[in-house]
Amino acid sequence: MKAFYLFFCFFPALLTAQTMIQGQVTDPSGEAIIGANVYLQDTYDGASSDLDGHFSFSSEERGAQTLVVSYLGFETYQDSLTCNTTPLNLTIQLQPVANELTEVVISAGAFEASDERKGVVLNALDIVTTAGATGDTYGALNTLPGTQTVGEEGRLFVRGGAASETRTFIDGLLVQSPYNSSVPNIPARGRFSPFLFKGTMFSTGGYSAEYGQALSSALILNTQDLATESLTSISLMSVGASVARAERWDNSSLSVSGGYTNLAPYTALVKQNIDWLKPVQSFDGQVIYRKKTSETGIFKANLSSNRSWFSLRYPDANDIEQLNDLSLTNDNYYANLSYRELLNDKTTLFSGIAYSLDRDRISELFNVRTDEQSLQAKTTLSYHASDAVRLKTGVEYLFGQFDQRFQDRDEQVFETDLPEHYAAAFAEADIYLTKGLVARVGARGEYSKQVDNWNAAPRLSMAYKTGENAQVSFAYGQFYQNPEKDLLRYDNDLGFERADHYMANYQWINNNYIFRVEAYEKRYHNLVNYTNGKAWEASNSGNGHARGIDVFFRDRKSIKNGDYWVSYSFLDTEREYRDFPEASTPGFASKHNLSLVYKHWMPQLNMLIGGTYSFASGRPYDNPNSPAFNAERTKAFNDLSLNVSYLRNIMGNFTIFHFSVTNVLGFENTFGQRFSALPNDNGVFSSTAIEPPAKRFFFVGMFMSIGKKYDRTNPEN
C-alpha cells in the first residue's frame, strides 16, 4: 500500500521530466522551410519552424514516439524517436509534392484550356472573349500557334495539314460533322457552343494513342458536368435569338435550349460581297442531361438537332462570270451518351456511344443529296498502377454509312454508297522514370473495312523537367486516316494516308507567364495521288512534308487588368498529291502566321474590351492561264478585330451586352482567284477574286441569366 502511495507521489515528477526536441526543416536544396508543423503524433507537443527553419519544443512524453513534420506543398514526414529526457537535435528534409505547375507533363503539341487545372494555356472564358473569334471555338483556337488562317474556309488548318486532317472529339468520341454546312468559299463555323465545354485540349501533333483517324491534329472537348444552378438564359442577337432553361436537382440536371438564327435583317443592313437570295437561317434545339450515379460516377447525355438553309447567286463552275441560283439545306442530328465511374481506387471506366446524321441538299444546275451517318461506341479503362505507372487502354467500333446522289447539269446521275466498319484498340502507359522525367508509350491498331486495310501506329512522347518552371518535351508518332469520301467513291483500292510527326518543345510556365517554343517535322506518306490528273485512277503514291516553328507567349501580369498573348508560326510545306503535277505548297498553307490577342478588364466600368490582330502571309494558288503550277500568291491577310462586353444588372438579372466587329481598319482582304473550269472563246480561263462574305462583320448581342433570387430583404429566409 505504501508503495502504491509512493508511486503516486512520484508520478507527477516522472511526468515533468521533459525531453527537448529541436532542429531544422529544409527543402531538398537546403533552403529553410518557414512555418512547418513539427509535432509528436497524438500529443499537443510541437512547434512551427521559424524564419531560419529552426524549431524547438519540449515534451513530457516518454518512450517511443512518432515525430510528424508537415508543410503545405510538401510530403508529410514521419519518423519514430525515443523520448528519454536526452535532448534531440534533428535535421529534417521535406520532399515537395508534385503539383500541376511544377510536375512534369507531356506538353509537346498540346494546348489545354481548362478552369480546373493550373498551368493551362487558356481557360474556358478565353474562348468566348477572344476578339475576332465571334464566339466560335475554332476561331479562338486559330489565335494559337500551329494554325494557319484560311479566311474563306473558317475551319482549322494545322501545321500544313488540310482542314479534314483535324478531327474533333466530344467526350472522347469522334464528331463526324463538327462544322455547319457550307459551300466552297463561304466560311463555316463550329456547330457547338463553347459554353458546353469545361475543358478543351487542342493538339497540334503527336497526340495520344487514344485518338486516331486524324493526320494532323485532334481537338478534344470535354463537356460540363452538372449545371451549377437552375437558370433561365435569354439571348437576343443581331442575327437571332435563343432561350435556355437549366434545372438542377441534388444529383442531376437537365438543360433544354432552342434558338433561331436569321441573317436576313443583318445582310440587308450591311453591304455584302455575296449576292444572297435567302441569307442563312437556322433552327436548333438541344437537350443536355446529367446524372451523378454515385459519389464518383457520372452519366452524360447530349442531344442536339439543327436545320439550316440558305440560297445565293453562285458562280458557274464552267464560266465563273455567270451566276446561278444555289441553295443548300442541311439537317443535323447528334447524340452523345457517356458514363464514367471509378471501379475502385485505381481503376476508372469510361464508356460512350455517339450517333450522328448529317443530311445535305444542294441544288444549282446540278443536284447533290448527301446522307452521312455514323454510330460509334468506345470503352476505355484507366489504371493507376502506382505513382510511377499509369495505364490506359480501350477499344472502339464505328459503323458509318455515306450515301450520295449527284445529278449533273446534263441530268446524268452518279451514286455513291460507302459503308464503313471501323474497329480500333489502343494501349498507353505513362511512366515516371524519375520525378522529373516522364515517358508516354502507346500504340494504336485500326482496321477499316472501307479501305479493307489495317494499321498499327506507335506513339511516343517524353518530357523532362529542366527547372522549377521549365521543361523540354519530345514526341513522335504515326498517324493514319482514311482518304476523304470524294476520293473513295471510285473503285481505286486506296489505302490509309499516313503522317509521321517528330517534335521538340520547350516550355516555361508559372501563374502569370507562359512561354513555349516548338519545332516540328511532319512527313506525309501514301497520300492519294491522281494518275495523269484523273481522280478515278488514283493511288497512294503521294507524299509530302511540313516543318516549322511555333512560338507562344502569354503574359497575365505586366499590365494591370490586362492580359495578352502572341502566337507566331513559321511553316515550310510541300506535297505531291491529288492533282498536283509536281511537289508544291498547297493553297491552304501560308509561311508566316501571327496573332496578337489582348484583353482588358475595366472594373469601374464593368467592361471587358478585347482586340485581336492577325496576319498571314500570302498563299499559293494556281493560275490555269500560266504554264507554271501554283505560281501565284494571294495578298497577305491582315485583320484587326475588337470586342466589348459590358456587364450589368437588369431587374436583378445578370446581363451581358456584347458588341464585336471584325476588320476595324478595313483591310482589303482577298483569298486568291476562282477560275472557270473551261476556257472562254478567247482560250482564257476567266477569273474572279475570292473575297470575304462582307468586308466587316458586326455583332450585337444581349445575354441575360435569370437565376434564383437569394432573398436579401428578409435575412430570415
Supply the minimum distance, in Å, between the C-beta of residue 347 and other proteins.
24
CB closer to other proteins out of 159 and 658: 658
CB closer to other proteins out of 7 and 260: 7
**Interacting span for other proteins (CB under 8 A) from 16-24, 31-39, 339-347, 666-674:** 31-39
- Our finding on whether 115 is near other proteins (CB under 8 A) is yes
Residues 586-605 binding other proteins (CB under 8 A) are 601, 603
Supply the minimum distance, in Å, between the C-beta of residue 137 and other proteins.
17
Candidates 20, 22, 32, 37: give the one binding other proteins (CB under 8 A): 37
Number of residues that bind other proteins (CB under 8 A): 45
Candidates 118, 346, 409, 421: give the one binding other proteins (CB under 8 A): 118
Candidates 39, 74, 426, 598: give the one binding other proteins (CB under 8 A): 39
CB closer to other proteins out of 115 and 468: 115
Calpha distance 128→141 (Å, rounded)? 11
Write down the residue that cell numbers 464518383 correspond to. 296
What does each C-alpha distance from 162 to 150, 190, 575, 619, 623 come to in angstroms?
10, 16, 11, 13, 20
Question: Which residue, 404, 409, 191, 185, is CA-closest to 312?
Answer: 185
Residues 47-106 binding other proteins (CB under 8 A) are 47-48, 51, 70, 72-73
Write down the residue that cell numbers 512561354 correspond to. 515
- Our finding on whether 649 is near other proteins (CB under 8 A) is yes
**Interacting span for other proteins (CB under 8 A) from 122-130, 296-304, 427-435, 455-463:** 122-130
- Our finding on whether 412 is near other proteins (CB under 8 A) is no
Supply the minimum distance, in Å, between the C-beta of residue 7 and other proteins.
11
- Residue 171 contacts by C-beta under 8 Å, 6 or more apart in sequence? 221, 222, 223, 300, 302, 336, 338, 352
Calpha distance 157→217 (Å, rounded)? 9
Q: In this structure, are strands 562-576 and 534-555 parallel, antiparallel, or unpaired?
A: antiparallel
Burial group, residue 428, by CB count within 10 angstroms (0-12, 13-18, 19+): buried
**Interacting span for other proteins (CB under 8 A) from 118-126, 265-273, 448-456, 578-586:** 118-126
**Interacting span for other proteins (CB under 8 A) from 43-51, 86-94, 174-182, 318-326:** 43-51
- Our finding on whether 3 is near other proteins (CB under 8 A) is no
CB closer to other proteins out of 36 and 186: 36
**Interacting span for other proteins (CB under 8 A) from 28-36, 144-152, 155-163, 410-418:** 28-36
Candidates 7, 17, 43, 677: give the one binding other proteins (CB under 8 A): 43
HSE (CB half, 13 Å, CA atoms) of 21? Answer: 28
| C-beta atoms surrounding 471 within 10 Å | 24
Contact call for residues 630 and 584 (beta carbons, < 8 A): yes
CB closer to other proteins out of 225 and 325: 225
Candidates 81, 287, 647, 704: give the one binding other proteins (CB under 8 A): 647
- Our finding on whether 625 is near other proteins (CB under 8 A) is no
3-state secondary structure of 710: coil
Element (H or E) spanning 14, and its range? helix 2-16
CB closer to other proteins out of 122 and 173: 122
Alpha-carbon Rg of the chain, whole angstroms? Answer: 31
Identity at 331, one-letter amino acid code: D
Could you give the string, one character per residue 506-525, with x where binding to other proteins holds by CB under 8 A and - elsewhere? -----xx-------------
- Our finding on whether 716 is near other proteins (CB under 8 A) is yes
What does each C-alpha distance from 100 to 361, 500, 554 come to in angstroms?
49, 30, 18
CB closer to other proteins out of 53 and 279: 53
Candidates 22, 58, 93, 123: give the one binding other proteins (CB under 8 A): 123
* Local structure of residue 238 (DSSP, 8 states): T
Residues 228-247 binding other proteins (CB under 8 A) are 228-229
Hey, CA dihedral for 89, 91, 94, 95, is it positive or negative? negative
Contact call for residues 332 and 309 (beta carbons, < 8 A): no
Question: Which residue, 179, 190, 170, 193, is CA-closest to 124?
Answer: 193
3-state secondary structure of 8: helix
Supply the minimum distance, in Å, between the C-beta of residue 58 and other proteins.
14
Supply the minimum distance, in Å, between the C-beta of residue 17 and other proteins.
18
**Interacting span for other proteins (CB under 8 A) from 497-505, 581-589, 644-652, 674-682:** 644-652
CB closer to other proteins out of 627 and 652: 652
Supply the minimum distance, in Å, between the C-beta of residue 650 and other proteins.
9
Calpha distance 68→91 (Å, rounded)? 13
Candidates 6, 14, 41, 559: give the one binding other proteins (CB under 8 A): 41
Supply the minimum distance, in Å, between the C-beta of residue 572 and other proteins.
38
Question: Which residue, 70, 143, 100, is CA-closest to 569?
Answer: 143
Residues 671-710 binding other proteins (CB under 8 A) are 707, 709-710
Buried b (16+ CB within 10 A) or exposed e, 390-421: bbbbbebbbbbebebebbeeeeeeeeeebebe
Candidates 311, 453, 655, 673: give the one binding other proteins (CB under 8 A): 655
Supply the minimum distance, in Å, between the C-beta of residue 57 and other proteins.
10
Burial group, residue 627, by CB count within 10 angstroms (0-12, 13-18, 19+): exposed
* Local structure of residue 132 (DSSP, 8 states): T
Could you give the string, one character per residue 178-217, with x where binding to other proteins holds by CB under 8 A and - elsewhere? ----------------------------------------
Hey, CA dihedral for 185, 191, 194, 200, is it positive or negative? negative
Cell of 533: 490528273
3-state secondary structure of 671: coil
Residues that bind other proteins (CB under 8 A): 34-37, 39, 41-48, 51, 70, 72-73, 115, 118, 123-125, 228-229, 511-512, 601, 603, 606, 608, 647-649, 652-655, 707, 709-710, 712-716
